[in-house]
Structure 1
Amino acid sequence: MSTLRGKTLFITGASRGIGLAIALRAARDGANVVVAAKSSVSNPKLPGTIHSAAEAIEKEGGQALAVKCDIREDEQVLAAVAQTVDRFGGIDILINNASAIWLRGTLDTPMKRFDLMSQVNARGTFLCSQTCLPHLLKAENPHILTLAPPPNLDPRWWGPHAGYTLAKMGMSFVTLGLAEEFRAQGVAVNALWPRTVIATDAINMIPGVQLARCRYPDILADAAHAILTTPSRELTGHFVIDETLLRARGVVDFDRYAVDPGQALLPDLFLDEALP
């Protein structure tokens, strides 16, 4: 099972960044891709909309459906999933990519920002999974893949930004629970996380990050493709690191993912293993 041809992917936050990279990789196989995101109007500070993403997907050979959807809103998620099923007949894969970030301490975290992260990250992941699962249970090789880190209770990841860590770990614990709940029914539920910081608009939220020391989102797209083309009963309940998986699948050239291959890479958050 080496291709996503004919599969239908519902991807949250796919108008740019990692979500778009995963969408384009699937499109090159001839997949159907639903771009479920809030960005319907161009923003100079955040390039990319659901419409520009859909156009790019179709240029790569996929079929696209652009749906304006705020995953904090139950009715919008229900409507987006209904549109997907009406258009493509079902859902094979859910990518929980949408996420909100705020890397500040407790006294510098407005409750509005705390609520946003909680609602988008943990609740949004649960809601989208809950809504897609009735359709995934009918699919031949169903997968839920969430962009979330391995669970980590080390205080050094909690002290600097407890609000964000709580919201992000919420996505991880939802993954853990769903994987066990739906294991016997053959739905693969896994998480994917980058070993290094990825060059997306989100890095503007991380003080001091140099773009040259990052990798392109393509590494996550290739890792996601490897997971999603694996039989669902053979891989579930795992917290996968992109580089680790790709090395295990035979990839040896990682310079092609680097913004500047000559620069030392920055390790991503929540990982205890240091980069060589």
Structure 2
Amino acid sequence: MTAQSPLSGRTLVVSGGSRGIGLAIAVGAAEQGANVVLLAKTAEPHPKLPGTVHTAVADVEAAGGKAVPVVGDVRKEEDVQRAVDAAVEHFGGVDIVVNNASAIATEPTEALSTKKFDLMMDINVRGTFLLTRAALPHLRKAAATPAGAHVITLAPPLNLNPRWLGAHPSYTLSKYGMTLLSLGWAAEYADSGIGFACLWPQTYIATAAVANAPGFKDALDRSRDPRIMADAAVQILSRPAAEVNGQCFIDAEVLAAAGETDFSRYGGGENPILDIFVDES
């Protein structure tokens, strides 16, 4: 961390930040001196999911930042409001929102339960809407400062390749819904000084979702560390809001543009698996 870091003293609210990519972004920002409010459901250890919102706070603080845990559900308006209120109470406002919480179910349409369909829509689309909307009054204030304000949504570029449209239409709808919200807000609030951007991994990322999938060993070996998403997010958040507004970024491309040439330190081997929605170049 340096005193000149663009993230020093800024406050992030991260949904689903108890593990995986959300936690990695929180830790990456903390290393730059940021404050973090983590909104997550996991208050007690889960047998299949490492970490809780409390261990995540410890990780953020160990990285040099300040953190506050909020045990809550991004689908619930009152829980989302508590997270935003906690940021204001403890740190004076909200500078950055990271819409990370997400659910995935890729069963064929006839095998997909209504419960799983609703879960994806409620977490991915509704949760993104609720958290961003609750933070907007504070983001507007932050936008008036030299550092500006940002909203990063973990969602893919819109890829209408029939391969992805047909692979899992309901999941695709939920993730593209997040993207469309981000692009829509970028236009709706174009004059606000808030930068709305999406970030998506080029390859599989070694998260619990991969670890709990069938045949996980090979997939994990060919997945990159969540740190690559954190490093890309820090790059985006360090740029002027107007420069990133309305953009959909791929992690490796962000880092390559910043001069990164060796991605081996993120793991994944010589042939990492391309992520969903990413075509072969």
Which TM-score band (shorter chain)? over 0.9
1:84 CA drift (Å) = 1.5
Flag structure 2 segments of 5+ consecutive residues without an equivalent: none
1:223 aligns with 2:206: no
Identity of aligned residues (%): 49
Task: Provide the C-alpha distance between the structure 2 equivalents of 1:153 and 1:245, rounded to a whole number of angstroms.
Answer: 22
- Deviations along 1:67-125, whole A, 9 cap, x unmatched? 01201111111122112211111000000000000111111111001000000001111
1:35 counterpart = 2:38: yes
Q: Distance in 2 between matches of 1:37 and 1:79?
A: 12
Measured after TM superposition, the shift of residue 206 of structure 1 is 5.0
| TM-score under structure 1 length normalisation | 0.95
Q: Deviations over 1:116-140 (max 9, x none)?
A: 0000001111111111011000002
Residue equivalent to 1:85: 88
CA RMSD, 1 decimal: 1.3
Q: Can you list the C-alpha shifts for 1:9-49, whole angstroms capped at 9, x where unaligned?
A: 00001100000000111111111001111111111210111
1:245 CA displacement: 1.1
- Kindly state the Cα deviation for residue 241 of structure 1 after the two structures are TM-superposed: 0.5
Deviates more, 1:173-182 or 1:206-215: 206-215
For structure 1, list consecutive stretches of 5 or more residues without a partner in the other structure: none
TM-score normalised by structure 2 residue count: 0.94
> What is the correspondence of 1:1-276 to structure 2 with a 5 Å cutoff?
2-139=5-142, 140=145, 141-204=148-211, 206-208=213-215, 210-259=219-268, 261=269, 263-274=270-281
- Secondary structure of the corresponding residue to residue 9 of structure 1: strand
Matched residue of 1:145: which SS? strand
* 8 Å CA contact 2:70, 2:82 repeated in 1: no
Q: Which moved more, 1:216-225 or 1:2-11?
A: 2-11
- Letter of the 1:69 partner, please give it: G
Q: Count residues in correspondence.
A: 272
Q: Is the 8 A contact 1:103 1:205 kept in 2?
A: no
